[in-house]
Structures are given as structure tokens and as C-alpha cells.
């Protein structure tokens, strides 16, 4: 299973402006033009519960597209779940990827947030990263990755300037030698 992490960040690595969960308040139209088709063409999307809460007003459930929300309390969301379209789980990142691979899924789009990104990176489950950088500095906000000490090494595959202000789309693959280092603990 190929796991693609897709994130939007400020220049200083923030995925939110302070505590405001609304990323659409600052993302450029050019990024949105790429992000929404990406969501449309992928049939498996995984996110953390806080990201779900922040984006549920724009989520459109549809047949043949499975969204999985990681929460430590899936029972609490039982009445919001729609089998095959929106499911809540407390599986570990590894268990989840193993189960979904066995079901035949070939690609997984990991859309954050920082805590869930950390859980996937820690277990070396991410293959590539699509990172949009908006030319803004927030100073305070949530980070692309939260709560894990990592040593993930990436290789830049392509870079594209999306507009006049200089929004950048950077595509990376996770280097194979990351797998040797990420599991050792420095804490």
C-alpha cells in the first residue's frame, strides 16, 4: 500500500494559524484547485479526529470512497459512521494499513493532522509527501508533525510555484534509509 501524506503549511511549518482550525481561511485558490481533485480521485482517506471535526462541514460522503477517522473513542462516533464511507477506529497506524492492504486498497491519502502524521511516520508507513507551502508566517499554530521524535529523511522529487505570491508545491519521497533510523528511540 502506498501512503501519501498531503499537507498545507506556512513557511514556519504551521498547519493552523494559531488555534484557528479553518485552513480554508488562508490556503490559496491554486492549492485548493489541486487538493480537491486529489481528494476526489482517491478512494481511501485517513485523518485524525480533530481534522475530521475541523473539516466535516466540507466532507461529502460518497459511495466507493472510504474515509477513516482515528480516535481513541470510536464508540462515541458510532452514530456518525456510514459503513464503507465514514468509519471511526482506534486501530494503530500499522494495524490499519495492514487491514486495508488486505482488503485490496493500493493507495492511502493521509491528510493529517500533526498527531496522526506522527503516528504514521513513526512506524515508517509514509511513502511520499505532497507539501504545499503558503508564503505566510504564523509563529503559533499546530505543527506538521506533533508528539514524535523522528529522523525521517526525504528526497525532493519536484517543486512547482503555483502563483505569483510564491505558493510552492513540493513533492518528496521518504528515503529508504529512514527505515533504519526511525524506530530507534532517542528519548
Ligand X SMILES: NC(=O)c1ccc[n+]([C@@H]2O[C@H](COP(=O)([O-])OP(=O)(O)OC[C@H]3O[C@@H](n4cnc5c(N)ncnc54)[C@H](OP(=O)(O)O)[C@@H]3O)[C@@H](O)[C@H]2O)c1
Q: Is 72 in the site for ligand X (CB under 6 A)?
A: yes
Contact range with ligand X by CB under 6 A, out of 105-113, 152-160, 162-170, 171-179:
105-113
Q: Which of residues 165-184 bind ligand X (CB under 6 A)?
A: none
The distance of closest approach from Cβ of residue 146 to ligand X in the complex, given in angstroms and rounded to an integer, is: 5
Q: Which CB, 147 or 166, lies closer to ligand X? A: 147
Q: Is 43 in the site for ligand X (CB under 6 A)?
A: no
Q: Is 60 in the site for ligand X (CB under 6 A)?
A: no
C-alpha cell at 141: 499554530
Question: Torsion angle of alpha carbons 23, 26, 30, 31, nearest 10°?
Answer: -30
Q: Is 112 in the site for ligand X (CB under 6 A)?
A: yes
C-alpha cell at 177: 534509509
Q: Is 51 in the site for ligand X (CB under 6 A)?
A: yes
C-alpha cell at 26: 488562508
Q: Is 113 in the site for ligand X (CB under 6 A)?
A: yes
The answer to whether residues 139 and 11 touch, using CB atoms and an 8 Å cutoff, is: no
Among 44, 100, 119, 174, binds ligand X (CB under 6 A): 119
Q: Is 97 in the site for ligand X (CB under 6 A)?
A: no
CA 161 to chain centroid = 21
DSSP state letters, 12-73 = TSBSSBTTB--GGGTS-HHHHHHHHHHHHH-SEEEEEHHHHHHHTTT----TT-EEEEE-S-
**Is 176 strand, coil or helix?**
coil
Q: Which of residues 5-34 bind ligand X (CB under 6 A)?
A: 7-8, 15-16, 21, 23
The answer to whether residues 58 and 37 touch, using CB atoms and an 8 Å cutoff, is: no
Q: Is 87 in the site for ligand X (CB under 6 A)?
A: no
Cα gap 62→85, rounded to integer Å: 6
Ramachandran area for residue 75 (φ above 0: left; ψ -120 to 50: alpha; else beta): alpha
Among 4, 124, 142, 182, binds ligand X (CB under 6 A): 142
Q: Is 121 in the site for ligand X (CB under 6 A)?
A: no
Which residues form the interface with ligand X (CB under 6 A)? 7-8, 15-16, 21, 23, 47-51, 54, 70-73, 90, 111-116, 119, 142, 146
Amino acid at each position: 500500500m502506498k501512503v501519501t501524506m498531503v499537507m498545507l503549511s506556512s513557511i514556519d511549518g504551521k498547519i493552523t494559524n494559531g488555534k484557528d482550525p479553518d485552513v480554508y481561511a488562508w490556503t490559496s485558490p491554486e492549492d485548493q484547485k489541486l487538493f480537491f481533485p486529489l481528494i476526489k480521485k482517491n478512494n481511501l482517506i485517513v485523518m485524525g479526529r480533530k481534522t475530521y471535526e475541523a473539516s466535516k462541514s466540507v466532507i461529502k460522503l460518497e459511495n466507493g470512497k472510504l474515509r477513516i477517522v482515528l480516535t481513541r473513542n470510536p464508540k462515541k462516533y458510532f452514530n456518525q459512521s456510514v459503513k464503507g464511507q465514514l468509519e471511526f477506529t482506534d486501530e494503530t497506524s500499522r494495524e490499519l494499513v495492514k487491514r486495508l492492504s488486505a482488503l485490496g486498497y493500493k493507495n492511502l491519502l493521509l491528510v493529517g493532522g500533526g498527531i496522526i502524521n506522527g503516528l504514521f511516520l513513526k512506524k515508517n508507513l509514509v511513502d511520499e509527501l505532497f507539501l504545499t507551502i503558503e508564503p505566510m508566517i504564523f509563529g503559533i499554530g499546530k505543527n506538521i508533525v506533533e508528539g514524535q521524535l523522528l529522523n525521517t529523511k526525504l528526497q525532493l522529487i519536484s517543486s512547482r510555484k503555483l502563483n505569483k505570491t510564491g505558493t510552492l508545491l513540493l513533492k518528496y519521497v521518504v528515503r529508504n534509509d529512514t527505515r533504519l533510523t526511525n524506530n530507534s528511540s532517542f528519548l
